[in-house]
Structure formats: structure tokens, C-alpha cells
């Protein structure tokens, strides 16, 4: 299916957030390096199948900025989880005063994304940077899920919402999510930019996600309305 025309645009976002935002290191508590590495080792040890093969399931920013070497990628579906904006973001693309909302996999339904087969002789070293990127912020838990694709099903490591963690926002109303995304901006840029990049990546792959599509329309409407 050809990509649809998005209501949300880079120009709308740039007009709403013209000035850079300084980093606030106190905005989000991070795991220390030792605990981050210990959790990585535990996750890899629990992985099913061949320890010399590692698949990673992407559904958000890893679709358009993987930041790791991969040998293969497949459009794949995981069942029992769906893509949703359900994690508070008080740093990076938000602030404590104006927190954004980030995507995670939450329970129920299904999600189409990308399964990456990582490349390299030392798979731990390959996955460690993206593990740090996703896990240090205390918003995600690691789960091994079955990623089903026409080429076959594979066990894939995925980052799902940590429902017991302090960043879990639950099932917020769509209007509240859109308001938060429209207003939030951190030192990495606006939350709306993250949304735009993700929905555009999905559209390019022929992935029609109703939650993302509704959010981009609502955020575009909110940004168009001004401050």
C-alpha cells in the first residue's frame, strides 16, 4: 500500500519548537552501568534457541534509527502486545515541567514492526549500545517474544513497558497523549518529531497502525492551533 499523506509535518513541529532545550540531567533517574550490564547478561542468558543468533524486535525509534549492525531485517508481527504511547518522558524529548509520552509495547493485541538479526561475532557487544539507550531510563522491561514473518518465526528480544515502573502512564486518553506530545521538547528534540519519524517509517513499510495515525492527526491539529 502506498504511504498516506500525513497531517503532521516537520514544518509544523519546527514552528512550534524553534529554540533548543537544555539538558536536565535530573529529569530522569538512570540505571548505573553495572546494573545495566547485569540485566543485559541475564536477558541474553535467558534467550531461547541458538546463542550465536540474536534477533531484536523494533516498533518505534529502532525502526528509523537502529544504531547497530544487522545482517537481516524482516517485517514481523508479535502477538499479545500492541504499540502505545504509555511511558512518561521527562528527559531527552521532554522535561519535568512538560513531560512527553513515549512508545512502548503494552499488553494485548498485536504489533507489526521490524525484526533485525544482529551481525557480528560478539553479539553482546553489538546489542549493548542499544540496550543502554533503551534500558537505562527505567521505563522498559526486556522480553523474549515470537516475531512472526513470512520468512518464518524467530525468538526476538523486545523492550516492553515496565508496568511496575515509575514511568508507566497507563492507558491515557488520546487527547491527553496528543497534548503532551505536542507540547513536549527535550535536548534531543520535540516529542512530535519522534512521532513523525515513527509513523512515517511505518507508512513506508506498509504498516497501518491506528494508534499512530490518530496521534499524528491530533498532534498536527494541536500544533496548528498555536500556544
Give the residue numbers annotated as catalytic, written as ranges. Answer: 134
- Does residue 161 contact residue 88 with C-beta atoms inside 8 Å? no
Rounded CA separation 189/144 (Å): 30
- Does residue 191 contact residue 95 with C-beta atoms inside 8 Å? no
- Does residue 81 contact residue 111 with C-beta atoms inside 8 Å? yes
> How many CA atoms, within 13 angstroms, populate the side-chain half-sphere of residue 16?
26
Q: Read off φ and ψ for residue 142, nearest 5 degrees.
A: -90, 135
Is residue 226 left, alpha or beta, with left meaning phi > 0 and alpha meaning psi from -120 to 50?
left
Residue 176 pLDDT level (bands cut at 50, 70, 90): very high
- Please determine, looking at this structure, whether the domain spanning 10-15+24-224 carries the CATH number 3.90.1580.10: no
* Residues 20-44 pLDDT 10s: 999 999 999 999 999 999 999 999 9
Question: In this predicted structure, what is the pLDDT of residue 226?
Answer: 77
Please indicate, yes or no, whether the overall pTM of this predicted structure exceeds 0.75.
yes
* Residues 40-96 pLDDT 10s: 999 999 999 899 999 999 999 999 999 899 999 999 999 999 999 999 999 999 999
Residue extents of the structural domains in the chain: 10-15+24-224
Amino acid at each position: 500500500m502506498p504511504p498516506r499523506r500525513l497531517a503532521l509535518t516537520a514544518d509544523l513541529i519546527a514552528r512550534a519548537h524553534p529554540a533548543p532545550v537544555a539538558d536536565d540531567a535530573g529529569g530522569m533517574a538512570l540505571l548505573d552501568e553495572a546494573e545495566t550490564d547485569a540485566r543485559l547478561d541475564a536477558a541474553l542468558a535467558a534467550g531461547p534457541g541458538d546463542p550465536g543468533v540474536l534477533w531484536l524486535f523494533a516498533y518505534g525509534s529502532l525502526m528509523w534509527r537502529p544504531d547497530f549492525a544487522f545482517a537481516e531485517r524482516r517485517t514481523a508481527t508479535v502477538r499479545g502486545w500492541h504499540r502505545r504511547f504509555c511511558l512518561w518522558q521527562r528527559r531527552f524529548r521532554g522535561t519535568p515541567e512538560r513531560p512527553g509520552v513515549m512508545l512502548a509495547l503494552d499488553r494485548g493485541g498485536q504489533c507489526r514492526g521490524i525484526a533485525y538479526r544482529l551481525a557480528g561475532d560478539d553479539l553482546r557487544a553489538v546489542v549493548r549500545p542499544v540496550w543502554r539507550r533503551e534500558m537505562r531510563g527505567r521505563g522498559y522491561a526486556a522480553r523474549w517474544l515470537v516475531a512472526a514473518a513470512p520468512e518464518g518465526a524467530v525468538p526476538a528480544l523486545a523492550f516492553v513497558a515496565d508496568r511496575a515502573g515509575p514511568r508507566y502512564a497507563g492507558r491515557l486518553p488520546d487527547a491527553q497523549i496528543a497534548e503532551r506530545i505536542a507540547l513536549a521538547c527535550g535536548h534531543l528534540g520535540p516529542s512530535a518529531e519522534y512521532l513523525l519519524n515513527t509513523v512515517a517509517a511505518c507508512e513506508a513499510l506498509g504498516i497501518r497502525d491506528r494508534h499512530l495515525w490518530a496521534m499524528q492527526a491530533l498532534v498536527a491539529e494541536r500544533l496548528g492551533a498555536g500556544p
